[in-house]
């Protein structure tokens, strides 16, 4: 019993340490890629090729003055950034990043917790992230922050519906809510070949769920200054940005697990294949930010409810017909 507890503890420490490092260096990756796409230099002063820039940014944020605006609800104002970061980090507990390995006679699954309702757990936890945004906007006692928080809650609820429905087809084919079982069911054919429409809906909804361009209406500078995070400074401000990148990492990892075979691939170790696929999706998020202009808010909501929602229902219907037809 003790050995299993120690194995679980080590997996938790390794996974979340690596995840935090990836999230920190995603900020550098984004600035470098955007710089290349916009024909300018990215960070290149701190360390060789700017590799220590995330460290410098973290030190700077920790030592900046932490201002709490007058008349703010101090408790909720302080807790809000922590809520959104924690929900992003603990979501990764059920995402498998490799196959089973053996170390010193012990079989170790490369997933923190392989539960049979892992997908339900992930969506339940990730949906709590909106509370961090709403709490921060309301507790700041700023009308622009509150407006950004209200926008965020409406946007995230709208696109979470399409996001959840987009993966129903995957569940119907795999017959399991365990992400490990779903990955194993994609040998030798990845589900992207069975679910191209579901994948497109998932990808668009995931971009909106992370409030990334062109769906970043919750913090658009020309209307709301910076939305729900207007009154935040120091590391509280930094936590909101870390949470955004952590959510991108989670939805990218989930896309790989649901549609692109997870860790499966030839020649290279499973973990390496998983990381390669995830970073392709992260690059896609950055590419979209550099390419598309922002929607109007009414366009955002119409697209979610009048386009993605009906298409997700159509995808479920087509998948059900296909499953019934091919199972005979």
Range of the domain at 152: 69-327
What's the token pair of residue 25? Answer: 């260096």
pLDDT at residue number 144? 80
> Which residues fall within 8 angstroms of residue 13, CB to CB, at 6 or more apart?
none
Instruction: Give residue-wise pLDDT tens across range 99-145.
Output: 878 777 777 888 888 888 888 898 888 888 888 888 888 888 888 88
pLDDT at residue number 298? 84
Q: Is residue 27 part of a domain?
A: no
Give me the number of domains the chain comprises.
Answer: 1
Q: Is residue 23 part of a domain?
A: no
Q: Is residue 128 part of a domain?
A: yes
Q: State pTM to two decimals.
A: 0.92
Q: Is residue 6 part of a domain?
A: no
Mean pLDDT rounded to a whole number for the chain: 87
Q: Is residue 63 part of a domain?
A: no
pLDDT at residue number 224? 60
Rounded CA-CA distance 136/308 in Å is 29
Q: Which residues of the chain have pLDDT under 50?
A: none
What's the token pair of residue 3? Answer: 């050995």
DSSP 295: P
Cα distances (Å, whole numbers) of residue 224 to 129, 217, 227: 20, 9, 5
Q: Is residue 213 part of a domain?
A: yes
Rounded CA-CA distance 158/156 in Å is 5
Rounded CA-CA distance 51/68 in Å is 32
Q: Is residue 284 part of a domain?
A: yes
Is the CA virtual torsion 212, 126, 96, 258 positive or negative? negative
Transcribe 201-225 into DSSP letters.
HHHHHHHHHTT-TTS-TTS-HHHHT
3-state secondary structure of 108: strand
């Amino acid at each position: 019993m003790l050995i299993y507890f120690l194995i679980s503890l080590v997996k938790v420490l390794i996974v979340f340490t690596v995840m935090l490092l990836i999230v920190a260096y995603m900020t550098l990756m984004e600035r470098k890629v955007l710089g290349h796409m916009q024909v300018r230099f990215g960070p290149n002063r701190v360390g060789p090729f700017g590799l220590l820039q995330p460290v410098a940014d973290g030190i700077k944020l920790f030592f900046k003055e932490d201002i709490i605006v007058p008349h703010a609800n101090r408790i909720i104002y302080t807790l809000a950034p922590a809520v959104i970061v924690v929900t992003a980090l603990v979501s990764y507990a059920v995402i498998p990043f490799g196959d089973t390995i053996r170390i010193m006679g012990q079989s170790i699954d490369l997933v923190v917790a392989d539960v049979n309702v892992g997908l339900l757990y992930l969506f339940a936890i990730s949906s709590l992230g909106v509370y961090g945004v709403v709490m921060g906007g309301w507790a700041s006692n700023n009308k622009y922050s509150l407006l950004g928080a209200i926008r965020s809650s409406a946007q995230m609820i709208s696109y979470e519906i399409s996001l959840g429905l987009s993966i129903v087809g995957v569940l119907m084919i795999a017959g399991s809510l365990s992400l490990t079982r779903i990955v194993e069911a994609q040998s030798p054919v990845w589900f992207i070949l069975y679910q191209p429409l579901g994948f497109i809906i998932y990808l668009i909804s995931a971009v909106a769920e992370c409030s990334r361009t062109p769906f970043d209406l919750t913090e658009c500078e020309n209307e709301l200054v910076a939305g729900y995070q207007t009154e935040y400074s120091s590391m509280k401000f930094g936590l909101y940005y870390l949470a955004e990148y952590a959510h991108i990492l989670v939805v990218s990892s989930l896309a790989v697990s649901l549609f692109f075979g997870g860790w499966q691939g030839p020649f290279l170790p499973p973990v390496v294949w998983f990381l390669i696929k995830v970073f392709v999706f992260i690059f896609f998020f950055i590419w979209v930010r550099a390419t598309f202009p922002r929607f109007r808010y009414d366009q955002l909501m119409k697209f979610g409810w009048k386009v993605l929602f009906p298409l997700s229902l159509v995808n479920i219907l087509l998948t059900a017909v296909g499953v019934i037809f091919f199972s005979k």
